[in-house]
Copies of this chain bind each other. A is one copy, B any other.
């Protein structure tokens, strides 16, 4: 019997991936760039056990048994086994997979990216794969390829129809920009969310603007963003991040019928960020929104206390316990000048569910405590 347990991070794109040129191989129409988040507060954890005793393959996700015959799981597993040495002794053993997220899936955060990165990293370890595995993770969920590396990561779209050049590379490690912090503002929302897979498919089919974005806008932005990250130029980083988030949601709206992911609270957060930056006469804070209403805020450590004082003022918690999860900071009241700017923007308590405060972190890593017992069954069922 052989067991591997790993954790893998979430990543938050600052240049967005939206649109596939190949649905089957999950090949994107443009490059994207993301920051990888620390696994301390948000991660996927996966145990894979291989045993000659197992009669069949099994898969549990967040405590619920899943059908093993998923095309995406299947293509990851096939590709890992293809790359394994033919002499690998466990290649024909059946496996049990158990995977969990340590953050609420209800938050609508990029859980599939962390999940597939974790699965593929664990499979690669189990079957002793060498070399880049980001193109395998990509087959599970496109943006999962970026969670294979820590720090700042670029997913290069590649040109070949086979997809082997569509891989993630690390632009800079965590230590390059240690001051960077991230706030996830989890928005209370009742709206039914449409999947990003079907949304981006519809965009490719119907949005005229998406073609122009992918071919003309994104290539320039990718270069400018790499430059901003290399030079640790927060001002430029913030502007490009917000512009690209807005353009992505513009494309969603240009889709027919439109995909609307941001709601009024999301737009209020964007407005708070712009107002805050105007007060400071520079871009101190950047928002970005994925395929859901939650905001992800990038900012430097030096700005966190003050910006959090504004968020707490504009979006008061409905109860005082557990509103700020993750890294803790000194809670300070909003200052008079900012209060004047924001007093007409105050929301009813509870417009935000909670806030996760985290930072940039490393890629997947092995851990000790297995999610499966020796019988190949989840310890927590």
Contacts and interface: CB of A to CB of B under 8 A. Distances in A.
For chain A, what secondary structure do more than half of its interface residues adopt (helix, strand, loop), or is it mixed? helix
Q: What is the count of identical protomers in the complex?
A: 2
20 contacts: A208-B216, A208-B247, A209-B212, A209-B213, A209-B217, A209-B247, A209-B250, A242-B256, A246-B253, A246-B256, A247-B253, A247-B254, A250-B250, A250-B251, A250-B254, A257-B274, A258-B267, A258-B270, A260-B270, A264-B264
A249 interface: yes
A239 B257 CA distance: 10
A339 interface: no
B254 A260 contact: no
A263 interface: yes
A208 B246 CA distance: 12
B263 A254 contact: no
A243 interface: yes
Contacts of A253: 246-247, 249-250, 253
Contacts of A260: 267, 270
Interface string A325-345: 000000000000000000000
Contacts of A257: 242, 270, 274
| A-B pairs, 8 with minimum CB distance | A250-B250, A250-B254, A250-B253, A212-B212, A257-B274, A264-B264, A260-B267, A209-B209
Most chain B Cβ neighbours within 10 Å, of A209, A249, A251: A209
Contacts of A255: 246
A121 to B, nearest CB: 36
Nearest to A264: B264
A319 B87 CA distance: 77
Contacts of A246: 253-256, 258
A246 B254 CA distance: 5
Most chain B Cβ neighbours within 10 Å, of A208, A213, A254: A254
Interface string A260-280: 100110010010001000000
